């Protein structure tokens, strides 16, 4: 039987590429640069399937120019805000993602960012690395303690719950906002808040784990930063669109926010150059899921979805 043609838009894990090459007539973008609109449109006439990453943008304008050959977009990501889902559905193109498998890796990174932001990791590393550590006193680099503090989580999906589980190891008091209250078995004693505003008032630490949608764009704005306890720490490992970056800088300048730990930004790649002047912003380049184990699992999950689709079955992660 003739193999289905598959375009993999980025350099995925070796194990993923080996399996894909075995089962599909695959073309791999070894240059590892984001696929352009022109490339996506051309690919729709040459391939039966695409495995893209968050770096490829399936806008309505792009999808409208697709040829009928393309049948499925099997994302190598959980978030699908780079895909216009109604436009793809309107063209009869199936869309899948890779939930579950990156929850722990992303939650680990959120914990790193929370601890690093709270305990002056940026300034401390710089002082030691540059030879500037020449004194000590009880007032030197005093940070914010995580153990026993109140943690607010916005979005108690898979990643939010994984982060809550790790935070319990620090005896944190877990509060959360979600579109709906979790059953007790999933909440594990966490306190539910029916509004974001109610949650913010008790969040000594705040971690964002909700998707980027029109409703959540600039979720954390000036008004909401003002509701946090003075000296709170905010962590974002979800999407840069969730945070009004100018409002964040203003809250930091006022001392309303003591520190921030960020793995995602409005502009990616690149981030916000204005953040570089602030030692109390601990930043990483959107690497929440970047472990070998997770990258293999994400690639295999995307391929599982393709295998099911071309076998005439409903993919497990069909959106």
Which residue among 76, 286, 295, 301 is the active-site one? 286
Strand runs (DSSP E) across the chain, as ranges? 5-8, 25-28, 49-51, 72-74, 94-96, 150-154, 173-177, 191-193, 205-208, 232-236, 257-262, 281-283
DSSP 233: E
Burial of 171 (0-12, 13-18, 19+ CB in 10 A): exposed
Give the neighbor-by-neighbor strand order of the sheet with 173-177.
Answer: 191-193, 173-177, 150-154, 205-208, 232-236, 257-262, 281-283
Strand runs (DSSP E) across 70-137, as ranges? 72-74, 94-96
Distance, CA of 308 to CA of 319 (rounded, Å): 14
Contact, 12 vs 51, CB < 8 A? yes
Tell me the angle at which helices 103-118 and 292-310 cross, rounded to the nearest 10 degrees.
150
Let me know if 301 is a catalytic residue.
no
Which residue among 19, 239, 295, 301 is the active-site one? 239
Distance, CA of 241 to CA of 65 (rounded, Å): 27
Which residue among 18, 38, 230, 268 is the active-site one? 268
Let me know if 193 is a catalytic residue.
no
Let me know if 209 is a catalytic residue.
no
Which are the catalytic amino acids?
239, 268, 286
């Amino acid at each position: 039987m003739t193999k289905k043609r598959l375009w993999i838009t980025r350099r995925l894990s070796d194990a993923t590429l080996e399996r894909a090459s075995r089962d599909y007539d695959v073309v791999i973008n070894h240059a590892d640069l984001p696929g352009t609109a022109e490339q996506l449109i051309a690919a729709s006439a040459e391939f039966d399937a695409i495995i893209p990453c968050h770096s490829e943008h399936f806008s309505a304008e792009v999808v409208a120019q697709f040829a009928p050959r393309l049948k499925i977009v099997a994302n190598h990501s959980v978030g699908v805000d780079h895909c216009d889902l109604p436009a793809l559905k309107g063209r009869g193109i199936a869309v899948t993602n890779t939930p579950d498998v990156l929850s722990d890796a992303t939650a680990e990174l959120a914990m790193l960012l929370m601890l690093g932001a709270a305990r002056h990791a940026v300034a401390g590393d710089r002082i030691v690395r540059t030879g500037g550590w020449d004194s000590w006193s009880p007032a030197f680099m005093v940070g914010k303690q995580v153990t026993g503090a109140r943690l607010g989580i916005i979005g108690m999906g898979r990643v939010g719950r994984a982060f809550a589980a790790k935070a319990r190891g620090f005896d944190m008091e877990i509060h959360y906002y979600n579109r709906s209250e979790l059953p007790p078995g999933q909440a594990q004693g966490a306190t539910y808040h029916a509004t974001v505003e109610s949650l913010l008032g008790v969040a000594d630490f705040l971690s964002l784990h909700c998707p980027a949608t029109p409703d959540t764009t600039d979720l954390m704005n000036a008004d909401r930063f003002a509701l946090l306890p003075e000296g709170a720490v905010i962590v974002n490992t979800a999407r840069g669109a969730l945070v009004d970056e100018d409002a964040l800088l203003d809250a930091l300048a006022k001392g309303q926010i003591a520190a921030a730990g960020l793995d995602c930004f409005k502009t990616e790649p690149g981030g916000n150059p204005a953040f570089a002047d602030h030692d109390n912003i601990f930043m990483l380049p959107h690497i929440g899921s970047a472990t070998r184990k997770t990258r293999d699992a994400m690639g295999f999950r995307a391929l599982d979805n393709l295998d099911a689709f071309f076998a005439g079955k409903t993919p497990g992660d069909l959106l």
